[in-house]
Amino acid sequence: MNTQDINRRIRLVMDLRTKGIRSADVLGAIERVPRDFFVPSSVSDQAWDDMALPIGRGQTISQPFVVASMTEALELTDRDKVLEIGTGCGYQTAILSKLCRRVYTIERHRYLLEHAEKRFEELRLRNVTAIAGDGMKGWPKINGLQQAPFDKIIVTAAAKDKPPAALLEQIRVGGKMIIPVGPPGEQSLKLFQKESDEAYSVRNIMPVRFVPLLPNIAEDSE
């Protein structure tokens, strides 16, 4: 890692701290995970700026402040099993992997998933399991094994008016889910906490802009 790269990482962490990110663990993960490794070479010079960037297939890598805010709100521990809906380029997944026991992540675009898995392998992230699937249905039973319920769930695409029922069902009692909710231009990042099998508390975190949460595995032409 060269001096310029180190300085960019430090500058981003200082910027996030100024903007209100308090968790030393989250800031440490942001500093350690090489964001430039997850973006196309055409925008790699902007990788350490606090901004969203295109990653192909109409998707983006989220602004680091949003990544940090979502991660911090979950209050992750090294015992947590986390479900991520929307792997994308794998950057948020990599941040999660530094802070919890295990990450299960679903991506509907096979192209993005294949590239993300290569990055996980190169970075030796051994606590990540990734599949192509319909994230709105939650984590499927695979070979007779069911991983749900999860301690925490993070959704990186916006539900139109409310979270999918399948995701609410896959949170353990006492667990949390963070998800953007609302139509384009009116999205709010919401933190759900499961108080019982039937009851949830909800807290608004901040306004955001995400791509919509869509069903099914995407066609290659999407």
Residue spans of the domains in the chain: they are 54-207
CA 90 to chain CA centroid, nearest Å: 8
- Mean pLDDT (the chain, rounded): 95
CATH assignment of 54-207?
3.40.50.150
Query: Active site residue: 23, 41, 42, 62, which one?
Result: 62
Give catalytic status of residue 62 as yes or no. Answer: yes
Q: Going by DSSP bridges, is the β-strand pair 102-107/53-56 parallel, antiparallel, or unpaired?
A: unpaired
Q: For residue range 173-193, list pLDDT tens digits in order.
A: 999 999 999 998 999 999 999
Q: For residue range 9-49, list pLDDT tens digits in order.
A: 999 999 999 999 999 999 999 999 999 999 999 998 999 99
pLDDT of 196 above 90: yes
pLDDT of 103 above 80: yes
Cβ(81)–Cβ(100) under 8 Å? yes
**pLDDT category, 1, cuts 50, 70, 90?**
low
pLDDT of 136 above 90: yes
Residue 207 tokens, joined = 């306004």
